[in-house]
A and B are shown apart, each in its own frame.
Chain A
Amino acid sequence: MTRLRIKIVGQSGMGLLSVGEMLIDAFNELGLFVVCDREYPSLIKGGYSCFTINVSDERIFSLSEFADVMVAIDNVSLNQYFDFLVKDGVLIHGMEKAISIKQISEKAIGKNIKVININARETSKASGGSVLMQNTVLVGMAWKVLGIDIGVIETALKKRFEGKINIIETNLRCVKAGYDSVVSENLATGLVKKMSVKKSEKKFLIDGNKAIALGAINCGVRAYFSYPMSPSSTILSYLAEMSGKTDMIIKQAEDEITAAQMALGAMHMGTRAFAATSGGGYDLMTETVSLAGMLENPLVIVVGQRPGPATGLPTWTMQGDLNLAVFSSHGEFPRIVLAVSDPIDAFYLIQHAFNFAEKFQIPVIVLSEKTICEGKINVLPYDENAVDIERGLVSEEELKDIKREDRYALTETGVSKRWLSGDSEVYYFANGDEHFVDGSLTEEADEVEKMYEKRMRKIETIKKTLPKPEIFGEKNADISFVGWGSSKNVMIDTIAICLEKGVKVNYLHYSFVWPIDGKSLKDFFSKNKNVHLIEENYLGQFGNLAEAEIQEKFAGRLLKFNGRPFFVEDLIDYIDKNSKK
């Protein structure tokens, strides 16, 4: 498997995002598989940022920590990231005074790194471009270095700026000036040439937040309530942007408490609605989650995780809020926690979240992570009919004979009949206080016990219904892993890389994290002798829940909690040390 690794580094606000976006557009145009993610500090201007792109002719999901090619927009960021540029790599920059990067130049010689430099600002100006369009010059330089036909990047640029003729013209001139400035002995064509481009169906670049937004639209969500918080804020922007066509109600609420309450009220009334936030915002929503538990009212909340506690690292990634999702809110009640891993499954899992929330009349918490929220891959068109809508509402027939006592009837499965305000003359009380079968208040010991047990019986019903975790990789593995969320991405890539080296790796992935399917886990343990945990937090939260569930211990734990996602190298190192080969 060939993997081309590019990092674009620069200060926030200098346009590195647009350099990255132009490049990934062009790679997508070529038919290659793209993964990208960006690192940036929690501020609008300044600070160092990095846009990482990995490209391959096979489907890859995760990133390498290192780069073959680095495009530097400014000196500060270059100093910060230079060490990630590999030996024999290429450094492209457009800074005027080579002197300001003297130290870097010396290091570059030591690592046999080719430095390619023109005065990008002057080149942009000479081509009729602005200062900011020096970025397009850099894109042109990079494209030539990679040895790819200029036509591809030109097409990508035209699409990007569709309809803005003047902007296209200048950008095309800038990209060409950059392209032409690189002389042929400086080409590093090897990497891309080796990739065999299969012309496949058109793919679309998309991040996890947009996938969630689209999945929600696809499954009939009609209202979205949210208070902005990284890394979930763009769900709000995406849905708002599309609302002119979807006619959804998109409301920026005054706080997360409101967002959750409005979503709950809207779901109570029978539409599909949700709220998204991050850990800190979810803290504020927890009382509403508890209310949903008591009312047996469907509720869906998406939590884009970032490292805490408190404000923590607002723009970085983590899997630190699993315990929060599983144990949040006062009282005991059934819930489902599911976790997306990439923009592909996010589209489908959000739809399952609504089906489960409605069928079981429970809160469902959907965990995402910064690296999924904002990281993009290029996907084939989604199967829009893959998930049917399941509302769990009574049929017209059933409604005719409905009785008030049906609403919270003490059923075997724990799930009782649900109908909506105004659907029938037969009303019920949806009561946040403990209640009888019709919802009217009770504090009688026997009645309380019965209702409590009825609600909790859903846990078993849910366990029987939840899809099983998925196994990736080889039988008779030298090392096995269990994990959830974005860990899947690095695992799938690692399994392939290790196989080329003759090391067999497999991985058990949980999309439906809670309640844990212990049976599948026990099975996996019995078939694999060297099972490790992979998780992005300090405590090994899922690991602890899993061990408690099956009373067995992981052979080891690969944990990371510095705000960076797992890179392929993290896994390779760990496997080198721990595989039983």
Chain B
Amino acid sequence: MSENVLKKLAGNVKDYMKFETEKPITWCTGCGNFGIQNALKRALALEGIVQKDVLFCFDVGCSGNGADKIEGYTLHGLHGRVISLAAGAALANSDIKVISFGGDGATFSEGPGHLIHAVRSNYPVIFVHHNNENFGLTTGQPSASTRKGVRMNAAPDGVFLEPINTMDFVLSLKPSFVARGFSGDIDYLTEIFRKALRHDGFAYLEVLQTCPTYNRDTPEHWYAERIKHIEDAKNYDSSDIWQARKLMQDIENEIYTGVIFEDKSKVNFLRAIPNRKNAKTVLKDEVKKYSISEFL
């Protein structure tokens, strides 16, 4: 974290602290969720976003158990459904930042349809994909991103299927914003969150998340040895989808993090929908009696 940023954060420390909970946290020691939430709170404070400005939407899973561990308006929905719940909320009141969180089980097993269409619809929502490569809360079954050969709960002989390359999958959908971070690289993750917060449209942010309890195959140091920052990739152009997809093929050796792809030309759903292009109000403030006689 640069000195400037540090100073700014120190200045906004009160706002940061407001998001902090006094309740006992129920994540395992060393869980990547700590780092993710920490980076998020920092980014919010740095961007001047206070409790009143934001709605946090949670899926069900270990990440979802953060639903009452961050102080602010939260909405804790159902497994696999958080993206659609968040999208509905965002469309109703776009004055509020809507940030949603879900695990790899939620995103790539229970509810991938929601992800696909949220990317396509470019809803003004941030979605944080907590990728710990397993089903945490249900005690370590394999997910679609568990690596081949790894022995897991309910897979005693090791997972015999190939994992889904989640980043490549999302990139194939013509997204407007795709980023990846690592839960152990909090300063850098903070900066990624800040960029996601400034993005106008659907921001897919995948966080490679350590799971000391169920994912022993790729522990903290495994990631630490492989994680690279996108700024260090030679001649990388984050508006070039093919470069992005190519770079994301490697999930074994050089794992790049940062804003991987951004298409600034894509407008968010609320400004793309033809009949609301000139809307000056948000739906939340439009609930009143309307005459229907002209439609009879």
Contact of B296 among A204, A225, A246 (CB under 8 A): A204
Closest 9 CB pairs of A and B: A265-B88, A262-B88, A269-B92, A261-B84, A271-B283, A265-B89, A220-B287, A266-B92, A222-B283
Say yes or no: is A287 at the interface (Cβ < 8 Å to chain B): yes
Considering the complex, give the chain B residue whose CB is closest to the CB of A257: B81
What residues of chain B have their CB less than 8 Å away from a CB belonging to chain A? 23, 51-53, 55, 57, 60, 67-68, 71-78, 81, 84-93, 95-96, 111, 113-114, 116-117, 121, 273-276, 279, 282-284, 286-296
Check A431 against B68 for contact (C-beta < 8 Å): yes
0/1 per residue, A241-256, Cβ < 8 Å to B? 0111111110101110
Query: In the complex, which residues of chain B have a beta carbon less than 8 angstroms from the beta carbon of A266?
Result: 88-89, 91-92, 283
Q: Decide if A108 is an interface residue (CB 8 Å cutoff).
A: no
Report the separation of the CA atoms of residues A287 and B72 in the bound assembly, to the nearest whole angstrom. Answer: 25
A391 to B120, CA, bound (A): 33
Question: Least Cβ distance of A356 to chain B in Å?
Answer: 15
- Whether the Cβ atoms of B75 and A427 lie closer than 8 Å is no
Tell me, in angstroms, the Cα distance from A223 to B269 when the chains sit together: 13
| Residues in chain B near residue A295, CB distance under 8 A | 75
Given contacts A381-B296, A427-B52, A433-B67, contact A273 B88 (CB under 8 A): yes
Is A264's beta carbon under 8 Å from chain B? yes
Residues of B within 8 A of A270 (CB): 92-93, 284, 287
Contacts A223-B283, A254-B113, A430-B76 given; does A384 touch B292 at CB 8 Å: yes
A425 CA / B52 CA spacing, docked (Å): 6
Q: Which of B60, B74, B91, B95 contacts A262 (CB 8 A)?
A: B91
A427 touches B72 (CB 8 A): yes
**A-chain residues with CB within 8 Å of residue B53 when the two chains form the complex:** 422
Task: Give 22 CB contacts A-B under 8 Å.
Answer: A214-B292, A218-B289, A220-B289, A223-B92, A247-B275, A257-B81, A258-B114, A262-B87, A265-B86, A268-B88, A268-B89, A269-B90, A269-B93, A271-B284, A273-B283, A287-B78, A288-B78, A291-B77, A427-B74, A429-B68, A430-B75, A432-B77
User: Which of A225, A257, A258, A435 counts the most chain B CB atoms within 10 A?
Assistant: A258
A261 touching B51, Cβ below 8 Å: no
Interface membership of A441, Cβ < 8 A: yes
Give bound CA distance, A180 to B91, whole Å: 58
Answer whether residue A483 sits at the interface, using C-beta atoms and an 8 A cutoff. Answer: no
Closest chain B residue, CB of each to CB of A225: B88
> B284's contact among A261, A269, A288, A441, by CB below 8 Å, is which?
A269
- Chain A nearest CB from B68 CB (Å) reads 4
- Minimum C-beta distance from A345 to chain B (A): 16
How far is it, in angstroms, between the C-alpha of A332 and the C-alpha of B286 when the chains are bound? 33
Among A214, A249, A265, A439, contact of B276 (Cβ-Cβ < 8 Å): A249
Question: Which residues on the A side are within 8 Å of B288 (C-beta)?
Answer: 220, 389
Bitwise interface map of A from 195 to 229 toward B, beta carbon under 8 Å scored 1, else 0: 00000000010100000001001111011010000
Q: Do A421 and B68 touch (CB < 8 A)?
A: no
Q: Is the CB of B289 within 8 A of A384?
A: yes
Select one of A265, A287, A384 contacting B87, CB under 8 A.
Answer: A265
- Report the Cα distance A120→B88, complex, angstroms: 53
Contact partner of A244 (CB less than 8 A), chosen from B51, B117, B275, B284, is B275
Query: Which residues from chain B contact A391 at a C-beta distance below 8 Å?
Result: 287
* A186: interface (CB < 8 Å): no
Q: How far is the CA of A433 from the CA of B77 in the complex (A)?
A: 9
- The answer on a CB contact under 8 Å between A258 and B113 is yes
Per DSSP, chain A at the interface is: mixed
Q: Is A217 touching B290 in the complex (CB atoms < 8 A)?
A: yes
A225, A257, A389, A431: the one contacting B74 at CB < 8 Å is: A431
Q: Is A263 an interface residue (CB 8 A)?
A: yes
Given A262-B85, A431-B67; A271-B96 close (CB under 8 Å): no
Whether B89 and A291, one on each chain, are in contact in the complex, defined by CB atoms closer than 8 angstroms, is no
Q: What 14 additional pairs, Cβ within 8 angstroms, besides A223-B88, A247-B275, A291-B78?
A: A217-B290, A222-B283, A243-B275, A245-B295, A247-B279, A265-B84, A266-B283, A268-B88, A271-B287, A427-B51, A431-B76, A432-B77, A435-B68, A440-B68
On chain A, which size bracket covers the interface? 35 or more
Asked whether A261 and B93 contact (CB < 8 A) given A439-B68, A440-B23, the answer is no
In the bound complex, do residue A269 and residue B88 qualify as a contact, i.e. CB atoms below 8 Å apart? Answer: yes
Chain B's closest residue to A241 (CB) is B295
Identify A254's interface contact among B60, B77, B117, B290, CB under 8 A: B117
Residue ID in chain B nearest A439 by CB atoms: B68
Q: Is the CB of B291 within 8 A of A384?
A: yes
Interface residue? A272 (CB, 8 A): yes
Q: CB of A424 within 8 A of chain B?
A: yes
**In the complex, how many angstroms separate the beta carbon of A479 from the nearest chain B beta carbon?**
38
Instruction: Tell whether A220 pairs with B290 under 8 Å between CB atoms, given A269-B92, A270-B93, A422-B95.
Output: yes
Q: Which chain B residues border A265 with CB–CB below 8 Å? A: 57, 75, 84-92
Closest A residue, CB atoms, query B74: A429
* Contact assessment for A428 and B289 in the assembled complex, using a CB-CB cutoff below 8 Å: no
Closest to A275 in B: B88
Q: Does A420 belong to the interface (CB within 8 Å)?
A: yes
In Å, the complex CA distance between A251 and B113 comes to: 15
Q: When the two chains form their complex, are residues B77 and A269 in contact, meaning their CB atoms are under 8 A apart?
A: no
Expressed in whole angstroms, the Cα–Cα distance for A264 and B77 within the complex equals 10
- Can you name the residue of chain A whose Cβ is closest to the Cβ of B81? A261
Smallest beta-carbon distance A435→chain B, Å: 8
Pair A222/B74 contact, Cβ less than 8 Å: no
- Are A429 and B76 neighbours in the complex by a CB distance under 8 Å? yes
Residues of A within 8 A of B84 (CB): 253, 257-258, 261-262, 265
Contacts of A439 in B (CB 8 A): 68, 74
- Report which of A251, A253, A432 forms a contact with B76, defined as CB distance below 8 A: A432
B88 touches which of A245, A261, A382, A385 (Cβ 8 Å): A261
